[in-house]
Amino acid sequence: MGAVCDVYDAITSNRPYKKAWNPAESLARMAQWTGHFDTQIFHAFVRSVGIYPLGSLVRLESGRLGVVIDQHPEKLTEPLVRVFFSAKAKMPIQQLDLDLSRRNANDRIVGREDPAQWGFNNLDDFWR
């Protein structure tokens, strides 16, 4: 578990020699490193931080962008998301906390987004 946590922390942190990877992309890359981690421990870690870790920028089916602000312990693909931007209109919208695990959510995550490509430098302000 220590190795998984150490690597995750290293790749999701800014270093003098490299820029941090976003949390969701980091988990995806770590999952591809066959034999690097004990499979059961890595899966337990993913269940702990979620498929879309806190602070991940996600695109919703509705065309809105949001930041993951909390996890659902049993529904890892349906976190609580703070929606704040329209990808279609390319402009901010009124912030809304959307619990994707609720039946009436009427939206779902269709992918992860790179905050740098959208010019978002302060995503931590949305979930901390």
Render pLDDT for 31-88 as a digit per residue (tens, 0 to 9): 899 899 999 999 899 888 888 888 899 999 999 999 999 988 788 889 999 999 999 9
Q: What angle do CA 95, 53, 101 make, to 5 degrees?
A: 60
From CA 70, how far away is CA 89, in angstroms rounded?
Answer: 26
Q: What is the pLDDT of residue 128?
A: 67
Domain spans of the chain? 2-49, 57-127
| Mean pLDDT, all residues of the chain | 90
Give the torsion through C-alpha atoms of 126, 63, 59, 95, to 10 deg. Answer: 10
From CA 101, how far away is CA 89, in angstroms rounded?
Answer: 26
Computed over its alpha carbons, how large is the radius of gyration of the chain? 15
Q: What is the pLDDT of residue 83?
A: 97
Does the structure show a pLDDT above 80 at 127?
Answer: no
Rounded to two decimals, the pTM is 0.77
